Structure 1
Amino acid sequence: MTNNTVIGIDLAKASFAVIELGRGGDVKRRKTFRRDGLKRFLAKHEPATVALEACGSAHYWGRWLEEHGHKPALLPPQHVKGYLRGQKNDYNDAQAIAEACLHGAINPVKVKSIEQQDDQAFHAIRRSLKVESTRLVNQMRGLLAEYGLTVPKSVSAFRRRVPELLEDAENGLSTRFRMLLNRQWRRLQASLEEQAWYDEQVQQQAKEDGTCRRLTGVPGVGPVVASAIKSWMGDGQQFRRGRDASAALGLVPKQYSTGGKQSLYGITKRGDAYLRSLVVHGARAVVRTAKNKQDALSQWALAVEARRGHNRAVVAVANKIIRMAWVIVARQEHYRSVEKRILAGA
């Protein structure tokens, strides 16, 4: 703790509930501030531990608090919920946050840098563009089916087929629908051109950024996965070891134990679902091509597949990828120097 004071803040867009606790848990202050008022209050306050839920705008506030001499503690919301007493309101939420921090049993989330948030914004926009183009193609395929015209599922097939449909005067499409189809076609073209720019940026980052270059040496990790891992993991210092990183991403079994009997189920699926899906897809490619390779990871993946089945092997490889990625990021090592050590701990 920075001193004897813990301040819990329930974040919002305009109105912020603040609870200030002493080391004994006694409430020293209970007040609501507007945004500017909260900044004036914290700027004048002596250095303290300021607890926030790791939600929207929390990383901005974390950086601001560090600049003004405070110690931010960003706590995962799902762990704070257990400290809530009584009905849910802003003050009770703020007190639960402060008490969770005072208890000290919850590991805080590391404050993200501007660069990390830029990378995450980049991937969020790129992902939304891909979702939009897929949704647009599926919608138009469905509408064309109502006119008795079928189009294959892929975006590339749709791009080839639409010009043919627009030029064919005998396919039964009305003038009005042709106009609608043409407008959606142009919209898809614009979206794909925008996606191409994002893909170029990813490729450029993979060449220029040292961390991304080292990450792309790991099987199953291409430029997109490397960039997403880097933006999520940062410098990796928030994790003590690679196992902690894979657990934070939800790539470990869900456990239910009672009375000395331990039961393990599917993976927990905690953390960033987008990054986890990218890593699992990369692991699937590793397992699919492993029979044609002789490297240690491929042979290990084949052994797991033979023993536990294909899907478990894919998840196991995804787990190893994140563990190796943590060593590469946190210790700035290269893939070949960590592969043998990570697999030995399998």
Structure 2
Amino acid sequence: MSDLALVGIDLGKHTFHLHGQDKYGRELFRKKLSRQQMMRFFANLSACTVVMEACAGAHFVARELTAMGHQAKLISPQFVKPFVKGNKNDFVDAEAICEAASRPSMRFVSPKTEAQQTLSVLHRLRESLVGERTKAVNQMHGFLLEFGVSLPQGLAMMKRLASVLAEHELPVRLTVLLQRLHDHFVYLDEQIKALDKELVCQLADDDLGRRLLGIPCVGPITASLLAVEMGDGQQYGCSRDFAASVGLVPRQYSTGGKANLMGISKRGDKNLRRLLVQCSRVYMQRLEHQKGPLADWERSLLTRRHSNVVACALANKLARIAWAIAANHTEYEAGPSTIAA
């Protein structure tokens, strides 16, 4: 297979479908292999470009193929779908991946390292535990409300549930059940705090994460997730490209030479976008204590736009600042204020 130039892989859990073609796009082979067979096949194959959809397991396969000397590329599945010809099957999907990768203007996803994937797992685990903790709190509120006990919102009241139960005459069996639910809440809260400490420790050893912490109102959770999603930032041409990948730029629907910009596109990682918007809202709450060009720009924008619009605009700005710090290997500098206090 000396003419082999490109191999498309339709990834699966146990079986993988391969489509190989030469530099002219002519099909050379189609294979259905297990995971072990596929790794042996590529180990005995001369160096070529291997393309896959960016999905579960793709980053691991990309790292393994790169170690064998191949060039591994990942494509977002939404860019592959238009190239599927006729009825859908696994071999047609593999061929469509090759067709999409052949486009000169195609955008690729950078494979993540093991450290980035591990940190991503930590974030998803923490998010899951936070959701379970919120569910437990809401259940306790609902159960108590059915017996005429209305508690204020927040986690502080849940942590002293024993004193609340002592103040009200409730059925003994209900008290036992609520105490069991409260023990589950305490366990989840301890697990979340342990993950937060682990996150801070990992961030202290990461140079990029440490520099991202210098951005105003960006904490360890947002900084570590930015480091995971962005990497060194070289896969993005400019700061706006990164902001667009997070979904913080206007969605465009233009025709006939008339530009029509709508709300933000909300593409990419919704968790990262939510964290950036939360950081911007915290910045707005403490705006009177902020200095520098960013604070001046924020104050002037608030005089003519709604606070929700300003929050999204500032989140866009924070994403651009984060990309500049990663791509240029610099640190955040507030700079002098341009508006007199």
Same fold (TM over 0.5): yes
CA displacement at 1:330 relative to structure 2? 1.8
1:7: Cα distance to partner? 0.8
How far apart are 1:249 and its partner, in Å? 0.8
CA contact (8 A) 1:73 1:109 kept: yes
SS of aligned partner of 2:235? coil
Who is 1:84 aligned against?
Answer: 84
Deviation at 1:203, TM superposition (A): 3.0
Task: Report the Cα offset of residue 188 of structure 1.
Answer: 0.7
Distance 1:207 1:61 in 2: 29
Q: Which of residues 193, 196, 199 in structure 1 aligns to 2:196?
A: 199
Unmatched runs of 5 consecutive residues or more in structure 1: none
Q: Encode CA deviations 1:6-31: one digit per residue, 9 max, x unaligned.
A: 11111110011111122222221112
**8 Å CA contact 2:10, 2:91 repeated in 1:** yes
Residue-by-residue CA offset, 1:46-87 (whole Å, 9 max, x unaligned) = 111111000000000110110011111100001111111112
Alpha-carbon distance in structure 1 between the residues aligned to 2:181 and 2:85: 52
Residue 17 of structure 2 is matched in structure 1 by: 17
Deviation track 1:158-193 (CA, whole Å, cap 9, x = no partner) reads: 222x2124434x52x322222211111111111111
Answer whether contact 1:5 1:23 (CA < 8 A) is retained: yes
Structure richer in helix, relative to its length: 1
The normalised TM-score by structure 2 is: 0.93
Q: How far apart are the structure 2 equivalents of 1:302 and 1:29?
A: 61
Tell me what 2:142 maps to. Answer: 142
Paired residue for 1:293?
290
Tell me how far apart the structure 2 counterparts of residues 220 and 69 of structure 1 sit (CA, whole Å): 42
CA contact (8 A) 1:3 1:49 kept: no
> Could you tell me whether the CA contact under 8 Å between 1:211 and 1:230 is conserved in 2?
yes
Q: Structure 1 pair 142/116, CA: closer, same or farther in 2 (3 Å)?
A: same
Query: Counterpart in 2 of 1:327?
Result: 324
Secondary structure of the residue aligned to 1:219 is: coil
The 1:3–1:231 alpha-carbon spacing in structure 2 relative to 1, beyond 3 Å, is: farther
How many equivalent pairs are there? 336
Q: Which one-letter code corresponds to 1:48 in the other structure?
A: C
Query: Hey, what's the Cα distance between the residues in 1 that align with 2:258 and 2:3?
Result: 43
Work out the CA distance in 2 between the residues paired with 1:249 and 1:212: 18
Retained in 1: the 8 A contact 2:158–2:182? no
CA distance in 1, matches of 2:193, 2:285: 27
Q: Quick check: 1:75–1:109 contact (8 Å CA) kept in 2?
A: yes
For the residue of structure 1 that corresponds to 2:47, the secondary structure is coil
TM-score normalized by the length of structure 1: 0.92
Check 1:36–1:178 CA distance in 2 against 1; reply closer, same or farther (3 A cut).
same
**Aligned mates of 2:302, 2:209 — CA distance in 1:** 29
Per-residue deviation, 1:255: 0.4
2:307 aligned to which of 288, 307, 310: 310
Structure 1 distance, partners of 2:18, 2:200, is 45
Equivalent positions of 1:163-242 (< 5 A) are 163-168=162-167, 170-171=168-169, 173-242=170-239
Displacement after TM superposition at 1:334 (Å): 1.2
Partner Cα separation in structure 1 for residue 171 and residue 209 of structure 2: 51
Q: Quote the Cα distance in structure 1 between the aligned partners of 2:296 and 2:164.
A: 49
Q: SS of 1:149's equivalent?
A: coil
C-alpha distance in 1 between matches for 2:3 and 2:215: 44
User: What residue is the counterpart of 1:267 in the other structure?
Assistant: 264
Structure 2 CA distance, aligned partners of 1:331 and 1:5? 34
Residues 198-248 of structure 1: per-residue CA shift (max 9 Å, x gap): 122233344443322221211121122111111111111111221111111
SS at 1:261 equivalent: coil
1:265-319 per-residue CA deviation (whole Å, 9 max, x = no partner) reads: 0111111111111011001111222244332111101111222221121111111
Provide the rounded CA distance (Å) in 2 between the counterparts of 1:194 and 1:82.
44
Q: Secondary structure at the match of 2:190?
A: helix
Secondary structure at 1:16's aligned position in 2?
A: strand
Letter in 2 for 1:167: A
Alpha-carbon distance in structure 2 between the residues aligned to 1:45 and 1:207:
41
Corresponding letter in the other structure for 2:14:
A
Q: Say what the alpha-carbon RMSD is for the aligned residues.
A: 1.9
The residue identity in structure 2 corresponding to 1:31 is K
Which amino acid in the other structure matches residue 329 of structure 1? A
Distance 1:90 1:323, change over 3 A: same
Contact between 1:220 and 1:279, CA under 8 Å: does it hold in 2?
A: no
Do structure 1's residue 34 and structure 2's residue 34 form an aligned pair? Answer: yes
Following TM superposition, the consecutive aligned residue runs of length 4 or more in structure 1 with deviations greater than 6 angstroms are none
1:238 and 1:37 map into 2 onto residues whose CA distance is 31
Partner amino acid, structure 1, of 2:142: G
Task: Give the equivalent residue in structure 1 for 2:60.
Answer: 60
Deviates more, 1:92-101 or 1:194-203: 194-203
Q: Which amino acid aligns with 1:175?
A: V
Map of 1:44 onto structure 2? 44
Question: More displaced, 328-337 or 187-196?
Answer: 328-337
